Amino acid sequence: MNEAPDAAFVRSGGLAHRSHAHASRVLTAQACEFVGELERRFRSRRSDLLAARRERQVRLDAGELPRFLAETEAVREGEWRVPAAPAALTDRRVEITGPTDRKMMINALNSGAKVFMADLEDANSPSWDNVIEGQVNLQDAVRGEIELVTPERTYRLAAETATLVVRPRGWHLVERHVEVDGEPMSASLFDAGLYLFHNARASLEAGQGPFLYLPKLEGHLEARLWNDVLSHVEDVLGLARGTIRVTVLIETILAAFEMDEILHELREHICGLNAGRWDYIFSVIKKLGRHRRFVLPDRSAVTMTVPFMRAYTELLVKTCHRRGAHAVGGMAAFIPNRRKPEVTARALEQVAADKRREAGDGFDGTWVAHPDLVPVAAAELDAVLGERPNQLERQRVDVHTSESDLLGVECSPGAVTLEGLQRNASVALRYLAAWLGGSGAVAIDDLMEDAATAEICRSQIWQWVHHGVVLDTSTAVTRELASELIAESLRSASLDPQWQGSRLEEARGLLVRVALEDELVSFLTIPAYDLLE
């Protein structure tokens, strides 16, 4: 959006933003000046890092493979540790995630989880209303004032609530409703900047602190940029160095080779790493998927126990604990369904087994997507931790992860099936229709789907078409077959009352674009954003 702002834009604090009913609370002149200055200070560095991503992708497509960096060997071999976590993040055995929808936030904060990750990224469809109202809800939550009155009931915070951690959008995204010097500003700086400006001191006064989850990093230089942003924010807001504490999601195959370096770059601010399993799988396909050896089987077959995923998670625990940082495990996306008791019982057994494995591997905490899963996950972590807040003392010296271990995708058991292809088309289509309608966390077939799981679905379709993978039916995956299945998914969803009236036809066109074009679009949310209200 390089043209002059239209009449719906207003100027405030040196930037231009689209008008909104809650602008007086969120987009004050002081807040606009603050985030505008962030954008001007760090814009060129962000742009350079995104250009470096594109250049590296060209090299990966040509056959280069990720590696442990020779130039940072001294960091990996050095003896250093990150600062201890603040009291509010010492015990994070169960973390619940969700969007910044008011009702969902209250339920998540009251869920009994130790941490609530309020998501402005993958679980959020970034319509202007969602972005601004999310910031309002965060302000109210930090101050203990968030409530919702409906005809059916009133939602209020309990006496004891989860610790709030906020996930801004990734470096690759812009906020097109805000312009600085005629250019849309970084969504990362907008989300984090507004949250910290309005809430850093209030969160400290509440006995917690300004805590962030940082997404989608592809290497330590991107972590360095975040560290410089956080240090600058602390200086401007008059906060002591290290007041803002962060956890980084290791959700790209490239970041897995730089975990020590990421911790080191953020060592004034970081307190943990998280195994972002769904984006990690998507990243393997996106970064390496042009090469046949990295073809993955059905999404359901790529569990946390397949060799390359296990190598990544064990290295994460070892790296974190060596440096005094917490290791937080992956997402349990199942949604209990009281109308399907047998399905729910089997799924809860699988969730419990997944969390039991994570606790046994040394993780200090884990993620769930639904309040009913909090006690299931807590029971497995409690069985290992007991009264201890974490298990940082488990150093995992038995783990020796090589580059080939992290890249051992071809060792993954499982097949590419017609059912898996159909499911990918169906889930991606319905998710995109919901996303275009303003919902970023969507219940589909008893799973909580978000942008990361939709990314797996559409990138697997692309990968299987690109390589002409042969299905279990002895049929090769072609663009024509995938198009036919997407059309079938559209017809089926159109007959379902849940999806009638949604933006299915637009979702179909978008899915064809992000799954069937020759070039794999880096993130489906980039072209999808252009269609968002």
> What is the rounded distance in angstroms from the CA atom of residue 510 to the CA atom of residue 429?
9
> What is the rounded distance in angstroms from the CA atom of residue 32 to the CA atom of residue 11?
9
> What is the rounded distance in angstroms from the CA atom of residue 470 to the CA atom of residue 461?
12
13: left (phi over 0), alpha (psi -120 to 50) or beta: left
Is 212 in contact with 234 (CB distance < 8 Å)?
Answer: no
> What is the rounded distance in angstroms from the CA atom of residue 110 to the CA atom of residue 128?
27
> What is the rounded distance in angstroms from the CA atom of residue 455 to the CA atom of residue 280?
10
Q: Which of these is catalytic: 102, 167, 267, 423?
A: 167
Give the pair of three-digit tokens for residue 416.
């590419």
Q: Which of these is catalytic: 191, 361, 450, 458?
A: 450
445 as an active site residue: the answer is no
Q: Hey, what amino acid is at 52?
A: A
> What is the rounded distance in angstroms from the CA atom of residue 224 to the CA atom of residue 264?
9
298 as an active site residue: the answer is no
Report the relative pairing of strands 163-167 and 447-449 from DSSP bridges. unpaired
Report the relative pairing of strands 115-119 and 163-167 from DSSP bridges. parallel
> Measuring CA to CA, how many Å separate 499 from each of 58, 363, 399, 444, 493?
39, 39, 47, 11, 6
Residue 181, φ and ψ in degrees, nearest 5: 55, 40
> What is the rounded distance in angstroms from the CA atom of residue 259 to the CA atom of residue 275?
11
* Residues 6+ positions from 65 with CB-CB distance below 8 Å: 288, 403, 407
* Residues 6+ positions from 72 with CB-CB distance below 8 Å: 220, 258, 260, 261
> What is the rounded distance in angstroms from the CA atom of residue 423 to the CA atom of residue 430?
11
> Measuring CA to CA, how many Å separate 103 from each of 60, 146, 203, 333?
43, 9, 20, 19
* Residues designated catalytic: 167, 450
